[in-house]
Every structure is written in C-alpha cells, then in structure tokens.
Structure 1
Amino acid sequence: MPDMMTCKTRLQPCRWVRTVGLIVAIGVMVGAPLRSQESLDPGRQGDPATVFRSGVTLVTTDVIVRDGSGVFVPDLTESDFRVYEDGQPQEVASLVLVHGGRVFNQLVPPPQAQEGIILPPTRAVNDTAGRIFVILVDDLHIETSKTPRARAVFEQLLDNLIHEGDLFGIVSTGPSSIRVDMTYDRSLIKSSADRLTGDGFNPTEMIRFLSPGPRGPSELSWRAHVAFKTMRDVVRNLERVQNRRKVVIYFSSGYDFNPFAHERIFGRSPIYEDMRNSGRWGSMFGQDQVAGLYEGIADPMMDPFERISRQGEVFSDADLAMEIAELTKAANRANASFYTVDPRGLVAGPDPDYNGPREAFNDFLFTTQNSLRSLAELTGGRAIVNRNDFDDAFREIDAETSDYYVVGFYSSNPDPTFRTRRLRVEVNRGAVDVQHRTHYTYARASDNAGPPLP
C-alpha cells in the first residue's frame, strides 16, 4: 500500500512539459486565424498607470433566445438587442449569429479611432469553426475504480456532442498525459478515451493515508491547484478568439479541501482507531468501558494540541470558494462556459470498502458536487451531476452550443476600480426566453502583465 500511495503523490516531470505544451498550442492555433483582427493596445503605448477602458475593451457575451416552445429564434438583428451594464444602456458594437454550429452573418466591430495613426481597413477573417471545445480531463480527481465508467462516458462525446467541423482540444491534469492540440479529427476522442486513467483518492484512502496540513490535507489542495491553474491558462489563451462561444467540457469528480475531517483524526492512527472502537468514543458500537491499555491517552478530539493543529481547517471551504471564483472570472473574461461532467453519475451510496459513517460520506458528496455546480453556474454553463443519462445530457449541451448570438459592446464606464460588472440583455420580442451570463470581471493589472519569466 505505501508503494501505491507513493505513485499517486508524485507526478512525473514530463507531465508538466506536456501540459504547458498543449496550453501554448491552444493559444497559437485558436489565435492565429484572428491575428489580423487584433488592434493596437493603447495601454502599452502610453503611461502604464493610465488605463482607458471606455471605447477600448470590447466585451462580448453569448445570448440564447428561444420562444415559448423552446425553439431558437434566428432572425434577430442588432436593433433587437438591449444591453445593460450595471443598469446603464450600452451600444451594440458587434453581433454574430451561430445557427446549427455554423456562422451565418457577422457584424464586425469597427476599429477604434486613434489620433495621429491612419490604419488600413480590416477584413473579416473567414473562420468556419462555429463551435470551439476544450475538454479537460481532471484525472487527478477521478477515482481509479471509476476509470471504466469514465472512459465510457468520455466516448459518448463522439456520438452526441462533437460533430464534423467542430474545433476541439483535450488536456489532462494527471498521469493520463492526454494532449490533443486543437483539431477537427474526431477519431482522436476514442484514442484519448483509451488513455484515460483515474488517479484520484477514494474515501477510504482519504481517511487512512492523507497527511494533515494547516488547512486540511495539503495533497488535496495541491491537486486542485494543478487542475485550476491548468484550466486558467487555457481560458486565458481562449481570450484571443473573438465572436465565438468557447465551451469547456470539464470531466471531474469535484473538489473538497477538507473531507472526512473527523474520520481522518482516528483513521490515520491505529491507536486512535482502536480507542474509538473500544472506549467511550466508540460507545455507538456497544462498548461501555475504555480499554485499560488506553486509559492515559487523551481524547484526540479534546486534546488542545490536536485542536490547535486543526484550527486552519475551518477556512478550507472559503479557500475552495475563492479559487473557484478566480477561475470562473477568467472564464467569463474569455466568454468561455464550463459544462462540468461528473463521471460518477447518480451516486446511491459509498463503495463497499468504505467503513465510515454515512453522514460524513454525504457531506463529502455534497461538497464535491456543489463545486462542480458552482463552476458551471458562474460561467453560464450546466452541471451534469447526479444523473446517469449522459447521452441526453450531451445532446442538451449540443443544442445550447449550436444556436446562439454573440453580442459585443464597448463599456461606457471608464473607471478601472469597478472590476465586476453586472450584465442584462433584453430582446425586442415578446414571449421569448433570453439566456446569458449575468456578470463579468476585468482582469487585475498584474494579470494583464502576463506570467513571470521562469
């Protein structure tokens, strides 16, 4: 068993090279067709302390309009849309219609006027990729025993979601080492599914083998950081793609920075575990007296030193919420939506090897599923959790990503201190349902500066 845990807690250096290589490839391949549309950045030509946002930053959001019967409305023009930022009306500068996965018409935003510079007129680039997918396989958070099921779910993408003409890429976070550059070759989905191997911890391993940390098991937080940072770098590169909806299919079983907190106190020590099963701490098992061997050992739940070492664990949920918020802000800036897929499906109960209380397992299950829901809902996507009909779920995603508008505007608020802006989109049609993201957040100045050199 120690050998198995050593394999799980050490990652090969080549995985980092492959992951970084795919992130760079995604940025190059999705950005190359659109380089001719990039305008000069006035923030880099003048004083870096002076930031002008009004009329400079094009904000885009995808909008899905359906009638009362749930049918997409494809005949809207820019005059039919009303866009509000923090309650203030904005002028629509660009409008793209994607219907059936193909671009039918495009209102390209005019280049910004810059004094003293005469620029030649730009031409729209003919990019036929109406849909762009990035598939993240977070195998660091998929249990090894769930590998066959995860592969079966992954293969359903080929039949129900990824179609001919769709541009997609695949990246993994763990030892599966899956790397597929942005491509139209759908056969690579099957070969990637064959390589998918879960490397996550199951509940029994979390209770018995995870070492405690100041804010929960450090191994779990480190694995989540790897997944979040990988996805953040990918969506940053997706910002180069304009006038398209970027869809991230997020395969993961969710996140919990401090699972089974009470059970791990007793599970990681044979003495504490025996005490729980033989003394007053284990009276629920029918034991009435403390074994004489453990009379002088303090209750680990009441020992002051043990309690001090666990004080930081109360912030574990807040840490997880903050990291999810940072990732979703980056996704909203790139107009990317997360569709989280839990390969566990509908969970009826723990595995047979789990020997802990059912309440602790339910808390762990709720936290992991709720983290996936947060990633999806905060980016305008959908969480596929607690359901086994993955084929129907992928068809629903297919419908949402095949028909949509991309509406763009230049913010009229030049104040850079207002980073988070509320969005509201209305349509000049009666009895229609309008679906769009509700907010976006400007990047910090340090984020715009780019990552530090190695």
Structure 2
Amino acid sequence: MDNARTSSLVISVAIAAGAVLVFTGAISQQKDVPPQFEAAVKRVLVDVTVFDKKGRFVPDLTIDDFEILEEGRPVDLSFFALEKFRKALPVRPTENGAVSKEDQMPPELAEAALLPRYMVLFVDGFNTSPPDWDNVRYALNDYLDKHVQENDRLLLATLTPTRKLLVGPEFTRDVNSLKRLINQLATDPSIKERERQNKQDLLTLLYDDSNQLSALNVAGESIGSDAQGNVANEANILRQGANLAEVFAGQRKDEILYTLNSMTSLAEHLSRTFDVPGPKTMIMVSGGISENPGSVYYYILDARLDQASAEARVDAPMAAEHPVAFRQPHAQTIDTYLLRAIGHLNRMNYTLYTIGARGTMIGAFDDVTDRFRSNLTPGISSIAYRDEEAGLEILSRGTGGLAFHNSANFFGAFERIDHDTAFRYVLGYAPPERADNANPDKFYRIQVKVDRKHVNVRARRGYVGS
C-alpha cells in the first residue's frame, strides 16, 4: 500500500457532493475501538489539542478534566483517548546535542502507542498563481525531506486550473514519488492578471472622461450638459460601476464555491475509498478563499462614492450605503457555505491546516503599466488583500486546525503543523436526541472546556447532521 502506484496522479471518479458521509473512528489506547458510523450520527468524535503557555502539549489530562457542550448543553463523554503520532517531541536540542529536561517526552506520551499519521496534501492550483506556488513548493519539499516519519502516510491531491480534481492513488510515505508529483503540479498563471484586468475595467468605467454611457439615462436617452445633467451623469457612472462590480464579485464567488465543493468532495471520496482509522490531517495550500468574494471591487466603489457629490449619491440611491457600496446585506458573504464545509470535514474527522500562498502584501500593488492607479488608500488595500485569505482562517479554526497567511515564512508553517499534529486527545459522545436529526444542513455547534488554567485549547467547532 505504501509504495504502490505513486508515480502518477489520477482523476478521481464518483466524487459526488451531497452523498452520504461517514465518520471514521479514532484509534484508542484502550481495547474498545469506536465503530465506524452510518449515515446518522451515532457518536461524535472530537479531536482536541491542549498546549501550555510555552507551546508544549499538555499530556496529563483525564476524561474528568474535559467538558463538551453541544448547542450550549453539556453532554456525557463515553470515549477518551490520548493519541501519539511522533516518537519524540519536535524540539531543537541544545548545543551539545542533549534535550533539556522540560522538553523530554513525558511518561504519559512515552508509554502511548505510536499511531499512523494520515495527511492529505491538497494543492489548490485553481486559485494559486505559479510564482506563489513556487515559494510554497520549496518549503513543502523541505518538509517532506526533514519531517516525514516512518508512521506517516501522505496522499497528494490538487484542483487544477481547468477545474479537474486529481488525487493520488494511495496514502504513501514514498517521499521521492511525492516530490516528483509536487514538482509537476500546475497552477493558474492567469488568476492575478484576471483580477488586475477586472480592477482596471472598473476603474476605467468610474474615472474615464470618455465614458459615453455616463451621458445616457437608464432609458437610453441623452442627458444634458448642465449642472443637473452632470449630476445625472455621475449617478449613471455609479450605477454602472455597481453592476460591473456585482458581475466580477459574482464570478469570484462562483470560483470559491467550486473550490469548497471540491475540497469536501475530496474528503468524502477518501473516506469512501480508503479504510483510514483515526483522525486525519488535510494541509491546504491556496492563493485565497475569501469570506466576502470580490470585496476589493466594492472597496473601489466606496472610494469613488466618497468623491461623488451629495446630489449624485441621492440620484443613485443604492450608492448611499457605507461601507461596501451598492451591496445588499450579506449578498456576497459565503459564511453559510464555509460553515457547511467545516461541518462536513468535521464529520469525516479531518483537521484542516491552511497556508495562504500569496504571502505578505509586499509587491501586491498596481502594475506600472496600468492606465488607472488604484483609488484605495494603503490601509484599505491591505484590508482587501487580507480579505482574500479570510476564508482560509475560518475553515481552519472551525476544524480545530491553524491558518498561516499574510506571511512568507512557509518553512515555519510546515514545522508548526508537524508540531501541532504530534499528539492529541480524542473525546467521544452520543449526540442528544432531537427532532431535527434528519436535517442534513443543520450545523451543531460544539464547545470544549478543560479544567486546567493557563492552557490553550483548540478543537473542532461543530458538525453537520448528515
């Protein structure tokens, strides 16, 4: 299984979103192993990591130290396990090669059985440019060379620029085969140029004096050149800008929803195809998943609106809203879709770690060949830049993982993931009886509490009913 058929990627078949999802049971240090689950949720498994203020895993907790609330109500815990995925703590030795006493493996971890660590490397080539991918690729290859252990099993998957989901045929620890595949992956060379051109088109419409459409009213009739006509011209420009921004934002929203669907379909396909016990980690490298797709176009509209006359804003009443002009409340926000993706990943026992491939904002300004320079202030430009990766953080936190974005330290990101996935607790409980168990889209919120001071607790935040 480890080394077979790892020399090529294959197109996954029978990946259908919305099909029945299945939980996988965690491996316990006890003799009783939770069974795999059918369509209805019979037992909820919650992976929990607990770290002290120095970033060290806290290994001496018992089931009595934990409390789980589902939809605000305590549940009875029926399963508890401490799981180990590294032979040694991921710490740096001192100059003489020794490990300090406080960094040595605690007895609770030293005595625990070493379990297989299953990791899915998901490269979002659909939303990532080649230069950005190259920066992450070097760090990923370094991670494979330095951090993969004998008990690690990895699988590579990618969403291509042509919207094909390609999946490796097996979980493997054949690092050389994985690196060959990684170096062959394709990303989208046009994604940044497409966004740049969209912004130029919008700026041209809003600021180009030769815009002939501004002199026509909504009925296609010519508007006069007097003061009243000038106001009407400006209002027309604002309305046209609103329509164009809505088109661009809608296109971006469709792209992101397709990516979310591909990610959850991948997790479902792997759950159906491979008998993988215990928790699984998915590392997603992406150029961005925005919580508010296309927000940069609305920020551009806001800036133009600030420059418009009061009369023009009145004449174009839909332009009176701030911030984010013209947008109906939550029209482009995809929080519901993000929550649904989180619920499905949690149901299939995946913890998601995301790496924003775009790095820092350095170099993210206008092209010198652009006809119109951005009308955004540096502060708003920075907000718009960060908006493109906000969805990655929401996804990671919702599944109990971490997000690494607005940073070029990709090597450090992979090291942190290796450290973060070394140990964990697994808690299980039977969900309470309720009338809405059959609702497939219902997201049941989970909160984990630990009876220990000065610790950092991270766990998945909920799941979907089916």
What TM-score, normalized by structure 1, do the two folds share? 0.64
Q: 1:419 to 1:328 in 2, by over 3 A?
A: closer
Give the RMSD, CA atoms, in angstroms: 4.4
TM-score (norm 2): 0.63
| Letter paired with 1:167 | R
One of 294, 298, 316 as aligned partner of 1:258 = 294
Q: Give 1:96 deviation, angstroms.
A: 2.9
Measure how far apart 1:380 and its partner are: 1.4
Going from structure 1 to structure 2, the CA distance change for 1:90 and 1:315 (only over 3 Å counts) comes to closer
Q: Deviations over 1:396-435 (max 9, x none)?
A: 11111111111111123444368523332435xx546252
Native 8 Å contact 1:376 1:383 kept in 2: yes
Kindly indicate whether residue 146 of structure 2 is the aligned counterpart of residue 154 of structure 1. no
* Alignment equivalent of 1:201, drawn from 192, 195, 212: 192
Matching residue of 2:76: 91
Instruction: Give the equivalent residue in structure 2 for 1:247.
Output: 281
1:77 Cα deviation from its structure 2 partner: 4.6
- Partner of 1:71, secondary structure, is coil
What is residue 357 of structure 1 aligned with on the other side? 375
Partner of residue 190, structure 1: 179
Residue 141 of structure 1, CA deviation? 1.3
Question: Once the 2 structures are TM-superposed, how far is the Cα of residue 365 of structure 1 from its aligned partner?
Answer: 0.5
Q: Deviations over 1:92-139 (max 9, x none)?
A: 32233222447xxxxxxxxxxxxxxxxxxxxxxxx9853221222112
Aligned residues: 358
CA shift, 1:248, in A, is 1.5
Shift in CA distance, 397/33, structure 1 to aligned 2, threshold 3 Å: closer
Flag the 1:242–1:143 CA change in 2: closer, same or farther, 3 A.
closer
Alignment of 1:318-357 (within 5 A): 318-351=332-365, 353=367, 355-357=373-375
Question: Distance between the aligned counterparts of 1:245 and 1:433, measured in 2?
Answer: 22
How far 1:373 moved relative to its partner? 1.6
3-state SS in 1 of match to 2:448: strand
What is the CA-CA distance between 1:80 and the residue it aligns to? 4.9
SS of the residue corresponding to residue 333 of structure 2 reads helix
Match of 2:167 in 1: 179
Match of 1:232 in 2: 264
State the 1:207 CA deviation.
1.8
Paired residues of 1:141 and 1:253 also in contact (CA < 8 A):
yes
Which residue of the partner structure matches residue 118 of structure 1? none
Match of 2:11 in 1: 18
Deviation of residue 61 (structure 1)? 0.6
Question: 1:421–1:195: structure 2 CA closer, same or farther, 3 Å change rule?
Answer: same
Give, in angstroms, the shift of residue 193 of structure 1.
2.5
| Aligned counterparts, 1:112-127, within 5 A | none
Distance 1:379 1:356, change over 3 A: same
Q: 1:315/1:181 Cα in 2 relative to 1: closer, same or farther (>3 Å)?
A: farther
Partner of 2:387: 367
Determine the C-alpha separation between the residues in 2 that align with 1:162 and 1:198: 25
Flag the 1:150–1:426 CA change in 2: closer, same or farther, 3 A. closer
Distance 1:205 1:145 in 2: 18
The within-5 A match list for 1:33-72 is 57-67=42-52, 69-72=54-57
Cα–Cα, structure 1 residues 20 and 207, in superposed 2: closer, same or farther, change >3 Å?
Answer: farther
Could you tell me whether the CA contact under 8 Å between 1:244 and 1:406 is conserved in 2? no
Matched, 1:132 2:118: yes
Whether the 8 Å contact between 1:145 and 1:198 is mirrored in structure 2 is no
Q: CA deviation at 1:228?
A: 0.5
Question: Post-superposition shift, 1:251?
Answer: 0.9
Paired with 2:366 and 2:36, the residues of 1 have a C-alpha distance of: 59
Match of 2:230 in 1: none
SS at match of 1:341: strand
Letter in 1 for 2:457: Q
The separation in 1 between residues aligned to 2:277 and 2:455, in whole angstroms, is 22
Q: Against the structure 1 CA distance between its residues 328 and 392, is the aligned structure 2 distance closer, same or farther, given a 3 Å change threshold? A: same
Instruction: Mark the CA change 1:79 to 1:146 in structure 2 (over 3 Å): closer, same or farther.
Output: closer
Residue pair 1:235, 1:331 contacting (<8 A) in 2 also: yes
The Cα offsets for residues 58-87 of structure 1, whole Å up to 9 and x where unpaired, read as 111112234565433435454554444345
State the alpha-carbon separation in 2 of the partners of residues 322 and 219 from structure 1: 18
2:463 aligned to which of 437, 441, 446:
441
Give the Å deviation of 1:329: 1.8
Cα pair 2:450 2:457 within 8 Å, conserved: no
Q: Which amino acid aligns with 2:187?
A: G
Structural mapping, 1:260-275, within 5 Å: 260-261=296-297
Shift of 1:243: 6.1
Measured at CA, do residues 414 and 223 of structure 1 come closer, stay the same or move farther in structure 2, by a change above 3 Å? same
How far 1:321 moved relative to its partner? 2.2
Separation (CA, whole Å) in 2 of partners of 1:19 and 1:209:
38
Go from structure 1 to structure 2 and tell me whether the alpha carbon gap of 1:59 and 1:262 turns closer, same or farther (over 3 Å shift): closer
In the alignment, structure 2 segments of 5+ residues that lack a partner are: 1-9, 28-32, 88-112, 203-242
Instruction: Give distance in 1, aligned partners of 2:140 and 2:14.
Output: 23
1:400 is aligned with what amino acid? D
Cα offsets for 1:293-314 (capped at 9, x unmatched): xxxxxx9999869979x99744
Deviations 1:284-337 (A, max 9, x none): xxxxxxxxxxxxxxx9999869979x9974456643222222211222222322
Note the residue ranges of structure 1 that are not aligned, 5 or more in a row.
1-16, 44-52, 103-126, 266-275, 284-298, 449-454
The structure-2 alpha-carbon separation of the partners of 1:74 and 1:260, relative to structure 1 and needing over 3 Å to count, comes to closer
Query: Counterpart of 1:170?
Result: 156
**Would the aligned equivalents of 1:350 and 1:361 in 2 still touch at CA under 8 Å?**
no
> More helix by proportion, 1 or 2?
1
- What do the CA deviations read for 1:190-239 (whole angstroms, capped 9, x no partner)? 12321233312344233246994756444322221221101111233566
Cα deviation for residue 264 of structure 1 reads: 7.7
Q: Distance in 1 between matches of 2:344 and 2:418?
A: 23
Aligned counterparts of 2:82 and 2:433: Cα–Cα separation in 1:
27
* Pair 1:205–1:338, CA change in 2 (3 A): farther
Q: How far, CA to CA, are the matches of 1:79 and 1:305 in structure 2? A: 59
- For the residue of structure 2 that corresponds to 1:257, the secondary structure is coil
SS in 2 for 1:171: strand
Counterpart Cα distance in 2 of 1:394 and 1:161? 9
Name the CA distance, whole Å, in 2 between partners of 1:161 and 1:251: 18
**Aligned residues of 1:91 and 1:410 also touching (Cα < 8 A):** yes
